[in-house]
């Protein structure tokens, strides 16, 4: 079983050199806690140690043991509760929560960095910490001061955990069809009745209480999404002083038998007149929940990065050790019976693909997290620009990073050959654990429709133009530079084609409304490949600049440059196929009548 080692050097490269995080943090307005270089190093180092020493040991054992359900109770794998308690005691749960609300007031980008390492160590365990942030975010956005004082302290200390409760069996992602009901008790509380499915951590033996953030419909509310409200509902009632009261009529009916993430309890939850509090106003639930959903979508993109890193580390270690056949250019291990498989070109192709996607995901998502910093704490102009970028790029991040991670995880199995298919080496677990990432928080298809329909065409192309202008300015800045030509010229060409493809899809949609749906996934994938081309061009620029300084660790920057070239030569050409598919009329997609799919 390959162990997990936090990629400290690459994280430091992305933070310090690619993103100039020291300058970024120093320039943030309204920051409650100054992120000095020493503090940044301390957080990264301590999070890495926590991930490696506390969380990583639960990775394979948690999968083997799984969660167990009996008599309405869930038992989690050994070590989960102890790790969660250490997480809370270390102050990690409140890292990015405002100081005034009991947190440490650090920027969201630092939280994302920590989450990557902890998630790569064991994503199933980390889901309990991530979902505990759901009621926290909901309370911060829609809770009264009294409610925040009632719930936040023990949620932030890790004494209590939380959930996000949207999905119902009959409606899936179409939350406007939900049936869970809320009735007003007339005393500031509401009774919630209904059933939710796929509730991660809905029941567990890790904490004393579980606080559910629930979408429900009040009596007489409008149909559809306009009539949805948001409620905070604890498993055990919470008195005004924060102490625990009576059981609150919340029960777990079952846990799902899943492909992966077996240490994370995915629950069917019944709310039988459970008391809770409304957040915000009546019928404002979806607006409040969307503030959480965008964060959750970036968090799911981060799962793609975490699983990619884990798969790449395992494949690389095995490729260095496994002896099989001789190099076609002559023995590279003449004293051994065969050469390590890393000498073979096809193994190199797989490892380079893993490396290009993984390191590209990290640079992209950390940059996106900086936009979240600016949206919260930047100047008015910075917040507006960053908010627009987040609107456009969140569905690309969630859709593209998780789809790329699928390839990285399966390549990890492929490098191991037959050994990748058995449990001992952990590679098939990574593939199973990652598989859900393309599904939850909105499938790739839903992300794609959101991108094309709401964000690009819905804004009249304005959101897209804001980003493509950034790419254009980058290309202009390096036009004529001999060292950057191999990156800038194809990037500039694809950036123009992005606008042309958008126009083609928009014109096609005016002639046939099915065009948006038929083009959407290919459009998102094209967008992802171009976005990563911009990321890798920027990485190449930093690497060329550093190599000119003749640093002691020049090999690191040469590797970055080689990976950028591999991305451009071997992966970026896929963008053109996606563009051709996206521009095709929807006729072939919609040609068959329903009864013609099978005979």
Active-site amino acid positions: 441
359: which residues sit within 8 A by CB, 6+ positions away? Answer: 10, 539, 560, 563
Question: DSSP letters along 418-478, please?
Answer: GGGGSGGGSHHHHHHHHHGGGTTTS-HHHHHHIIIIIIIITTTTHHHHHHHHHHHHHHHHT
The one-character DSSP state at 160 is E
> Phi, psi at residue 67, to the nearest 5°?
-100, 150
**CA atoms lying within 13 Å on the CB side of residue 326:** 8
Q: How far is CA 513 from CA 478, 508, 510, 518, 592, in A?
A: 40, 8, 6, 9, 17
Cα angle 249, 255, 261; round to 5: 130
Of 62, 198, 199, 203, the C-alpha closest to 122 is 62
Size of the chain, expressed as the number of residues it contains = 599
User: Rounded distance, CA 247 to CA 235, Å?
Assistant: 6
Cα angle 527, 376, 50; round to 5: 85
- Name residue 323's beta-bridge partners: 340
Q: Is the dihedral of CA 370, 375, 377, 382 positive or negative?
A: positive
Of 206, 181, 275, the C-alpha closest to 235 is 275
Question: In the structure encoding, which two tokens stand for residue 461, read together?
Answer: 């192309």
Across the chain, which distance is largest between two alpha carbons, in Å? 83
> Phi, psi at residue 202, to the nearest 5°?
-60, -30
User: Rounded distance, CA 414 to CA 319, Å?
Assistant: 11
| Spacing of C-alpha 1 from chain mean position | 25
User: Rounded distance, CA 119 to CA 131, Å?
Assistant: 13
The one-character DSSP state at 203 is S
> What distance, in Å, lies between the first and last C-alpha atoms of the chain?
47
217-221 LR contacts (CB < 8 Å, sep 24+): 217/178, 217/179, 217/180, 217/181, 217/182, 218/181, 218/182, 218/183, 218/184, 218/190, 218/282, 218/283, 219/181, 219/182, 219/183, 219/184, 221/282, 221/283
* Contact (Cβ atoms closer than 8 angstroms) between residue 310 and residue 124: no
User: Rounded distance, CA 173 to CA 169, Å?
Assistant: 10
Phi-psi category of 148—alpha, beta or left, where left has phi over 0 and alpha has psi -120 to 50? alpha
> Phi, psi at residue 166, to the nearest 5°?
-115, -50
């Amino acid at each position: 079983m390959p162990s997990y080692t936090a990629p400290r050097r690459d994280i430091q490269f992305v933070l310090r050199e690619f993103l100039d995080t020291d300058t970024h943090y120093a320039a943030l307005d309204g920051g409650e806690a100054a992120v000095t270089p020493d503090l940044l190093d301390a957080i990264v180092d301590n999070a890495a140690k926590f991930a490696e020493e506390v969380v990583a040991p639960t990775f394979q054992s948690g999968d083997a043991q799984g969660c167990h359900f009996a008599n309405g109770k869930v038992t989690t794998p050994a070590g989960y509760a102890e790790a969660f308690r250490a997480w809370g005691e270390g102050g990690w749960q409140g890292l990015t929560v405002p100081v005034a609300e009991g947190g440490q007031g650090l920027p969201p980008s630092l939280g994302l960095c920590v989450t990557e390492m902890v998630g790569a160590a064991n994503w199933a365990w980390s889901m309990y910490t991530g979902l505990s942030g759901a009621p926290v975010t909901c309370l911060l956005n829609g809770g009264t001061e009294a409610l925040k004082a009632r719930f936040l302290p023990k949620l932030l200390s890790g004494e209590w955990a939380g959930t996000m409760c949207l999905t119902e069996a009959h409606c899936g992602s179409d939350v406007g069809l939900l049936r869970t009901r809320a009735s007003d008790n007339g005393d500031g509380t509401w009774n919630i009745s209904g059933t939710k499915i796929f509730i991660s951590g809905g029941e567990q033996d890790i904490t004393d209480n579980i606080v559910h953030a629930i979408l429900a419909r009040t009596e007489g509310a409008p149909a559809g999404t306009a009539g949805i409200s948001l409620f905070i509902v604890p498993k055990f009632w919470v008195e005004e002083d924060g102490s625990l009261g009576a059981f609150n009529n919340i029960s777990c009916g079952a846990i799902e038998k899943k492909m992966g993430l077996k240490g994370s309890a995915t629950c069917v939850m019944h709310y039988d007149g459970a008391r809770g509090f409304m957040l915000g106003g009546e019928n404002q639930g979806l607006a409040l929940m969307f503030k959480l959903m965008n964060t959750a979508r970036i968090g799911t993109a981060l799962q793609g990065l975490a699983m990619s890193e884990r798969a790449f580390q395992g494949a690389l270690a095995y490729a260095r050790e496994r002896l099989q056949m001789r190099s076609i250019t002559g023995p590279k291990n003449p004293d051994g019976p065969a050469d390590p498989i890393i000498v073979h070109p096809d193994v190199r192709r797989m490892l380079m693909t893993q490396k290009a996607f993984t390191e590209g995901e990290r640079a992209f998502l950390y940059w996106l997290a900086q936009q979240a910093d600016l949206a919260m704490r930047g100047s008015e102009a910075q917040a507006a620009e960053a908010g627009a970028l987040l609107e456009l790029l969140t569905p690309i991040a969630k859709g593209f990073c998780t789809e790329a991670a699928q390839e990285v995880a399966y390549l990890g199995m492929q490098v191991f050959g037959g050994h990748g298919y058995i449990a001992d080496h952990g590679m098939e677990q990574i593939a199973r654990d990652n598989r859900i990432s393309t599904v939850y928080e909105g499938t790739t298809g839903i992300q794609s429709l959101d991108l094309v329909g709401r964000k690009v065409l819905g804004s009249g192309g304005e959101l897209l133009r804001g980003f493509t202008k950034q790419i254009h300015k980058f290309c202009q800045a390096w036009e004529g530079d001999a060292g950057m030509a191999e990156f800038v010229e194809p990037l500039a060409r694809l950036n123009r084609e992005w606008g042309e493809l958008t126009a083609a899809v928009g014109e096609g949609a005016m002639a046939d409304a099915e065009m948006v749906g038929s083009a959407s996934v290919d459009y998102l994938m094209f967008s992802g490949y171009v976005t990563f081309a911009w990321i890798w061009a920027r990485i190449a620029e930093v690497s060329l600049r550093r190599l000119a300084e003749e640093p002691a660790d020049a090999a690191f920057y040469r590797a970055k440059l080689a990976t950028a070239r591999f991305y451009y030569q071997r992966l970026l050409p896929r963008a053109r196929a996606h563009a051709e598919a996206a521009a095709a009329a929807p006729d072939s997609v919609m040609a068959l009548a329903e009864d013609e799919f099978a005979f």
